[in-house]
């Protein structure tokens, strides 16, 4: 682990809200510190950000809350944390605040400190999918938005908000041509065995909501394919006990499910197909060119609120959104049953021509997202800081 700077005065503050934000921010922090030796990075960080040299005031686990009902339950604690961060930022001397995703938390924090220091929001909220009114919140909060999807540029240009398309760092981190055999060797798996990857998410509430269904689907799949083996990456060591308990509760059937500490990318590269909870993992699976079925389930109250808000796109999975078509099956809420997930994945795995078309479309998506993301994001952040200095804000 890299040693974090002893002092963060004059540094850049990063606030990531979950594992995907940790993944996005870590290479940016590494590049920033190479571009500006001695630059301090600090804030709300995950393990990868800490390894990149970010001093953690708090861990991302403290912000990893999903759904409306769950946020309401945790709201007093989250408000206290945001108030603490605001006071720290307003009272210190920092060059910029970079909010990494987590828009419901970060946009309010950015708006609160923007008079004091420049603010950058990394990853646009999905205003193209639902809650388009958030564009005005973004305007009030961020001096610049770093975009990870190319179609977002036109949205921000129309709104007159400074934005820079930096590509998606995963598209550079993941090879254009995955090597299944090498990944299997790294995991100690046999070349010819049927491997299915289970990706139920990285947050506790998310896992509690969908993992039991994924595990039951694995047992359904094993009834049809007795030789199948299942890999379940453990996104955070703190989740292992929960996943072990869920696996034990699902025991008694024929599926062989192996928990793999971290190494989600190895598991995706090695597998033949995947069950994936909606989120960044769906993009990861697509970049590894793997057939998948996307599923999501949230508590009834949260789902009801989401339906009331409504959406503008007919899909929730990033591969479908980026392709502009239903490339990948999506089973949501009451449709996400174990038999249905198992059958849809069997259908996908049995369609050779469909898999070849999938790989072609995945490759096109991959190419569209490949940029030197850390360099582009670093340049955009440093430009935002330079432009803010004439306004008399901290820099």
* pLDDT averaged over 10-residue windows placed end to end, the chain, 395 residues: 47 91 93 93 95 95 64 77 95 95 93 96 80 82 96 91 94 94 95 94 84 93 93 87 87 76 94 93 96 80 45 72 91 90 96 94 96 96 88 62
Instruction: Tell me the H-state helices in 189-260.
Output: 204-224, 240-249
Give the model's pLDDT for residue 65: 62
Written as six digits, the tokens of 273 are 């197909």
Give the model's pLDDT for residue 20: 81
How many Å separate Cα 220 from the centre of its chain?
Answer: 28
Give the model's pLDDT for residue 299: 52
Please give the Cα distance from 240 to 28 (Å, whole number): 28
Give the model's pLDDT for residue 314: 67
Give the model's pLDDT for residue 98: 98
Give the model's pLDDT for residue 186: 96
376 and 167 in contact (C-beta within 8 Å)?
A: yes
Q: What's the whole-model pTM score?
A: 0.78
Angstrom distances, CA of residue 349 to CA of 184, 291, 293, 343, 362: 18, 7, 10, 10, 16
């Amino acid at each position: 682990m890299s040693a974090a700077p002893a002092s963060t005065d004059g540094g850049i503050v990063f606030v990531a809200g979950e594992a995907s934000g940790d993944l996005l921010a870590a290479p940016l922090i590494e590049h920033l510190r190479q571009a500006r030796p001695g630059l301090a990075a600090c804030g709300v960080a995950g393990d990868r950000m800490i390894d990149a040299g970010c001093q953690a005031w708090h861990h991302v686990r403290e912000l990893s809350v999903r759904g409306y009902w769950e946020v309401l339950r945790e709201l007093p604690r989250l408000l206290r944390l945001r108030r603490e961060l605001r006071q720290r930022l307003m009272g210190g001397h920092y060059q910029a605040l970079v909010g990494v995703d987590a828009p419901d938390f970060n946009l309010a924090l950015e708006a609160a400190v923007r008079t004091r220091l420049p603010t950058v929001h990394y990853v646009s909220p999905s205003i193209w999918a639902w809650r388009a009114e958030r564009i005005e919140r973004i305007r009030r909060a961020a001096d610049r938005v770093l975009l990870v999807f190319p179609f977002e540029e036109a949205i921000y240009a129309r709104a007159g908000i400074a934005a820079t398309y930096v590509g998606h760092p995963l598209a550079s981190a993941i090879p254009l041509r995955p090597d299944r055999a090498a990944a299997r060797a790294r995991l100690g798996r046999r070349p010819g065995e049927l491997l299915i990857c289970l990706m139920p998410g990285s947050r506790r509430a998310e896992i509690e909501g969908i993992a039991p269904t994924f595990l039951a689907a694995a047992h359904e799949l094993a009834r049809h394919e007795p030789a199948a083996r299942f890999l379940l990456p453990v996104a955070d060591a703190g989740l292992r006990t929960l996943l072990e308990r869920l696996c034990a509760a699902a025991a008694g059937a024929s599926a062989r499910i192996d928990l793999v500490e971290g190494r989600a990318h190895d598991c995706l590269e090695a597998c033949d197909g995947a069950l994936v909870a909606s989120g960044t993992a769906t993009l990861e699976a697509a970049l590894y060119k793997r057939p998948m079925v996307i599923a999501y389930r949230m508590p009834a109250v949260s789902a009801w609120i989401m339906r009331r808000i409504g959406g503008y796109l007919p899909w929730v999975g990033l591969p479908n959104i980026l392709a502009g078509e239903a490339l990948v099956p999506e089973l949501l809420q009451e449709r996400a049953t174990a038999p249905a997930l198992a059958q849809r994945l069997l259908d996908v795995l049995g369609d050779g021509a469909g898999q070849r078309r999938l790989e072609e479309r995945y490759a096109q998506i991959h190419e569209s997202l490949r940029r030197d993301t850390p360099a582009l994001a670093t340049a955009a952040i440093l430009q935002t800081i330079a432009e803010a200095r004439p306004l008399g804000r901290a820099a």
